[in-house]
């Protein structure tokens, strides 16, 4: 089946531009939470159409002024702005097991005070998913989730945010080397074939419009402080998304070979925080941002030491790191050119195992880059291709390659008076990482109903980033009613 899908993918990549019909479709219909990696983070009241630094939330964004008149009577007289009910069901293809049967009620709302200078926004959900809870302790049968809850203080040229919030930086669609503030949601990590889900964190954020010199249309300074850093949690034993290496650690612990200690967490406010700065400018049709980051590494590295009984004690740690770089975007009529370059000096990297034992980590300089291009053919046919690469000059004992690279892709089109959307998205690794592919479709049943289906495929070497999930292909069926 994977070979057939591979042939179809290649055929679509070649043929679609010549049979295109339709309008630009950014993003992916299966980005099921406000944590999709295609979200941008500059959240202000001066968003510019087509601005890659502007906010674009599928879920969890405050209602704009022009949308207020569209509210129903109960929305105008209540705290709530909008919401939806959704049934999302996933089945693993290799054994037919249902790995998720999530029934979700999503609600979001807010309130304005003092002539709109002070606003409050909240997004929450109630999830019922006994199928996922039967696999691991990452899920409960019933879960009440607070996604975002923050205050906005607005003055001329200044926006201050305080609370639990998403801040996603980068112009790339799906891969952003400088998107380091929000950790991965290990319970439900996949938003689409080429993007991930993240978790909001408690933070303070300030966005300041600066005086603009000649030839610069807009200049903005953004500061973010996370006083107590949150990081990627390890998947619990039995999780559908448990990495291959972590599975082996859990197995060795059950056999009494080693002891896996509690994951390192941040304890000291401000000392164990994350801090970031971004300066963005718009000039001659170019959007350019300079970014700096200081904080902890989101994904853990593992260290070990021998106890008196010769049993290895393994500790997941999150060393501090720094990063800085630049990203850009340029609109070209019906196309967009975008890119990102990140330098991570002395970045903590897991060392290769020696004699079946973990060897700790080593700090090496790392360079990451993304360059991409998207275009709308005809009216509806949208194609997005992005090349990404990682370079580690001193790679011995850390990774297998001095240079690793790959490509993400998405192709979509509209049919049946724009009610039916069909597409395919994924990632292809050129350095042994493996690949992902997600053919999908969604059909709108009127203004408030959406029926969506997809198949998510992995393949590649079992030691690869994507190939390790080779036996975890799954199909998804979703039905959503919005109100």
Q: Span 394-400, mean pLDDT?
A: 70
Query: Is pLDDT larger for residue 45 or for residue 478?
Result: 478
Token pair recorded at residue 33: 């939470």
The predicted model gives 413-429 an average pLDDT of 96
Count how many Cα atoms sit within 13 Å of the Cα of residue 441 in the half-sphere of its side chain: 7
The sign one gets for the Cα dihedral 208, 212, 216, 218 is: positive
One DSSP character per residue, 211-232 reads P--TT-SEEEEEEEEESS---P
pLDDT tens by residue, 308-341: 777 888 999 999 999 999 999 999 989 999 999 9
Query: For the residues 130-134, what does the mean pLDDT come to?
Result: 96
Residue 79 CA neighbour count, 13 Å, CB half: 9
In this structure, whether the domain defined by 2-482 belongs to CATH 2.30.30.30 is answered with: no
* Burial status of residue 209 (CB atoms within 10 A of its CB: 0-12, 13-18, 19 or more): middle
Fill in the DSSP letter of residue 469: G
Half-sphere exposure of 321 (CA within 13 A, CB side): 29
Range 131-144 average pLDDT: 95
pTM above 0.85, yes or no: no
- Which of 28-32, 314-318, 388-392, 478-482 is predicted least confidently? 28-32
Q: What is the rounded CA–CA span in Å between residue 319 and residue 349?
A: 10
More reliable by pLDDT, 351 or 165: 165
Question: Which position has the higher pLDDT, 175 or 8?
Answer: 175
Q: Higher model confidence: residue 208 or residue 248?
A: 208
pLDDT reported for residue 38: 28
Q: Where are the beta strands (DSSP E) in 114-173?
A: 118-128, 142-155, 158-165
Give the rounded percent of residues in the chain with a pLDDT score beyond 70. 81
pLDDT of residue 358: 63
Q: CB-hemisphere CA count at 13 Å for 197?
A: 18
The model's confidence at residue 399, banded by pLDDT at 50, 70 and 90, is low
* Higher-scoring residue by pLDDT: 187, 37: 187
Q: Please report, for residues 183, 270, 343, 360, 442, the alpha-carbon distance to residue 300 in angstroms, rounded to integers and kept in the order given.
A: 11, 20, 19, 11, 36
**312-317 and 258-260: which strand pairing?**
parallel
Residue 418: pLDDT above 90?
yes
Q: Could you report the per-residue pLDDT of 37-89, keeping only the tens digit for each?
A: 322 333 333 332 333 333 333 344 455 545 555 555 555 556 788 999 999 99
CA distance 238 to 88: 20
pLDDT at 400: 65
Average pLDDT in the 277-289 region? 96
For tokens 């999150």, the residue is: 318
Asked if residue 441 lies in contact with residue 48, where contact means CB atoms within 8 angstroms, the answer is: no
């Amino acid at each position: 089946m994977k070979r057939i899908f591979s042939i179809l993918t290649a055929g679509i990549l070649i043929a679609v531009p010549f049979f295109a019909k339709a309008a630009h479709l950014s993003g992916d219909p299966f980005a099921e939470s406000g944590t999709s990696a295609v979200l941008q983070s500059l959240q202000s009241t001066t968003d510019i159409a087509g601005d890659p630094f502007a906010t674009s939330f599928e879920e969890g964004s405050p209602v704009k002024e022009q949308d207020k008149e569209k509210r129903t009577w109960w929305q105008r007289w209540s705290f709530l702005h909008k919401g939806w009910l959704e049934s999302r069901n996933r089945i693993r293809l290799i054994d037919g097991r249902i790995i998720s049967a999530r029934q979700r009620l999503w609600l979001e709302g807010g309130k304005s005070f003092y002539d709109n200078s002070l606003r409050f926004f909240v997004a929450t959900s109630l999830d019922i998913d006994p199928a996922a809870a039967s696999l691991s302790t990452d899920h409960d049968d019933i879960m009440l989730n607070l996604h975002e809850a923050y205050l906005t203080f607005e003055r001329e040229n200044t926006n201050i945010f305080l609370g639990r919030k998403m801040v996603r930086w980068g112009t790339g669609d799906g891969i952003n080397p400088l998107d380091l503030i929000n950790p991965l949601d290990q319970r439900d990590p996949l938003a689409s074939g080429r993007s991930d889900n993240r978790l909001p964190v408690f933070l303070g954020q300030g966005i300041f419009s600066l005086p603009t010199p000649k030839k610069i249309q807009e200049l903005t300074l953004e500061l973010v402080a996370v006083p107590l850093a949150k990081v990627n949690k390890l998947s619990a034993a039995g999780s559908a998304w448990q990495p291959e290496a972590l599975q082996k650690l859990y197995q060795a612990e059950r056999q009494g070979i080693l002891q896996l200690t509690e994951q390192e967490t941040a304890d000291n406010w401000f000392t164990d925080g994350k801090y970031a700065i971004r300066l963005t400018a718009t000039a001659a049709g170019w959007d350019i941002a300079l970014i700096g980051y200081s904080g902890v590494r989101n994904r853990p590295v593992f260290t070990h030491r021998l106890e008196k009984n010769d049993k290895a004690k393994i500790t997941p740690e999150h060393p501090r790191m720094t990063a800085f770089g630049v990203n850009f975007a340029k609109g070209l009529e019906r196309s967009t050119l975008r890119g990102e370059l990140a330098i991570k000096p002395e970045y903590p990297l897991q060392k290769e195992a020696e004699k079946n034992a973990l060897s700790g980590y080593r700090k090496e300089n790392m360079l990451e880059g993304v360059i991409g291009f998207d275009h709308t053919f005809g009216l509806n046919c949208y194609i997005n291709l992005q090349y990404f690469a990682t370079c580690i000059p001193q790679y011995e004992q850390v990774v297998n390659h001095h240079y690793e690279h790959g490509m993400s892709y998405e192709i979509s089109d509209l049919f049946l008076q724009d009610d039916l959307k069909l597409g395919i998205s994924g990632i292809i690794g050129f350095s042994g990482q493996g690949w992902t592919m997600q053919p999908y479709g969604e059909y709108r049943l009127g203004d408030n109903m959406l029926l969506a289906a997809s198949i998510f495929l992995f393949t590649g070497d079992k030691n690869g980033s994507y190939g390790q999930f080779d036996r975890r292909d799954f199909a998804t069926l979703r039905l959503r009613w919005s109100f």
